[in-house]
Amino acid sequence: MLLFRRGLSLKVLGKDVDRACFGEKAKQIMRPDDANVAGNVHGGTILKMIEEAGAIISTRHCNSQNGERCVAALARVERTDFLSPMCIGEVAHVSAEITYTSKHSVEVQVNVLSENILTGAKKLTNKATLWYVPLSLKNVDKVLEVPPVVYSRQEQEEEGRKRYEAQKLERMETKWRNGDIVQPVLNPEPNTVSYSQSSLIHLVGPSDCTLHGFVHGGVTMKLMDEVAGIVAARHCKTNIVTASVDAINFHDKIRKGFVITISGRMTFTSNKSMEIEVLVDADPVVDSSQKRYRAASAFFTYVSLSQEGRSLPVPQLVPETEDEKKRFEEGKGRYLQMKAKRQGQAEPQP
């Protein structure tokens, strides 16, 4: 369980944040159930902690003024990089702050640091940006207005508005692309998409949900990471860890009692990384009036590690169909774009 502490000021990477906002901090020790057989903490475990921090701070802010009570629901997670692995026995420090609000959404930035409690050494493991929308407690299909935040500088609001418009456009484009389904193939060849693709079917129970009957975003992300991890392990047959997650888009709520199918398939491989597309479909099995729908989607990137924790080469993916070849080229484009961005950031500034 995460232990949260509310603060009126927040420090990120040792620097005071000069925004007028609420802050959340949490600590949690990593246990064997949180990690794989090599002792590396699952990416899904960290994603779940990140989402819990974001949900608490967003819900608290959206209820900070008099009016209709609400709960904040996760709509999107921007690209999240796993900068350093976290291991069993280390303590995760999670801190969150509200950085922008639109009329109907809240942007939250979350940082995760790991602490070796024997030496006291700390290191940054994750930085994530999440977007939440406030849903009325009387009617969870109704989106309420968000109380504004006060910015210390005009530029902060303008930069936040640009991020808001960019993520809104991306969510709309992604939703229209989500029509395909992962189909099983008999006797697939090694290193093909069909060979490693995997699916998990999960009945949504009360423990997966908020008090208002829909699934926690962190629960969904943890299941998505589990499926992506199985795909990666099947492909390279080594210890694998989550390296990054491209934007996770939540297209619709998943309610208690629904059956969800989480499907993962390899889309692209570089020399040392694997991109895996994960799709979440929700099936309201007890309600014949409602059809199966796409609830969430994302791209996960994994790397293969030796027993000493060193990066290993990845078997190259063999796309067979025209759709697989198209997805491979799209994945290659995302890989090259991110590689160029990292190289640009690494160059010394004049």
Q: Is 225 labeled as catalytic in the residue annotation?
A: yes
Closest to 75 measured CA to CA, from 23, 147, 129: 129
Looking at the domain that runs over 180-343, which CATH code has it been given?
A: 3.10.129.10
Give the HSE-up count for residue 54: Cα atoms under 13 Å, Cβ half-sphere.
33
Domain locations in the chain as residue ranges: 21-173, 180-343
What does pLDDT average to over the chain? 88
Residue 13's pLDDT band, with cuts at 50, 70 and 90, is very low
- In the predicted structure, residue 199 carries a pLDDT above the cut 60: yes
| Rounded-to-integer distance, Cα 296 and Cα 176, Å | 12
Q: Is 323 labeled as catalytic in the residue annotation?
A: no
Q: Which residues contact 74 (CB under 8 A, 6 or more apart)?
A: 51, 54, 55, 130, 131, 132, 216, 217, 218, 250
| Dihedral angle computed from the Cα positions of residues 165, 166, 168 and 172, in that order, rounded to the nearest 10 degrees | 140
Query: Is residue 123 helix, strand or coil?
Result: strand
Q: What is the pLDDT of residue 346?
A: 58
Q: What are 261-272's pLDDT values in tens digits?
A: 999 999 999 999
CATH class of the 21-173 domain in this structure? alpha beta
Burial of 129 (0-12, 13-18, 19+ CB in 10 A): buried
Q: Which of 208, 225, 246, 281 is catalytic?
A: 225
Q: Which of 36, 178, 191, 283 is catalytic?
A: 36
- In the predicted structure, residue 14 carries a pLDDT above the cut 50: no
Q: What are 23-58's pLDDT values in tens digits?
A: 778 899 999 999 988 889 999 999 999 999 999 999
Beta bridge pairs of residue 6: 24
Structure tokens at 159: 């930069």
Q: What are 284-329's pLDDT values in tens digits?
A: 988 777 889 999 999 999 999 988 888 999 999 999 999 999 999 9
- The alpha carbon of residue 251 and the mean position of all alpha carbons in its chain are separated, in whole angstroms, by 14
Distances in Å between the alpha carbon of 179 and those of 192, 297, 321?
A: 22, 11, 17
List the Cα angle 222/230/262 in 5-degree steps: 50
pTM for the full predicted model:
0.87
Structure tokens at 86: 């976290």
Intrachain domains 21-173 and 180-343 with the same fold: yes
Residue 12's pLDDT band, with cuts at 50, 70 and 90, is very low
Q: What are 128-183's pLDDT values in tens digits?
A: 999 999 999 999 889 999 999 988 888 999 999 999 999 988 877 776 566 677 77
Q: What are 42-100's pLDDT values in tens digits?
A: 999 999 999 999 999 999 999 998 889 999 999 999 989 999 889 999 999 999 999 99
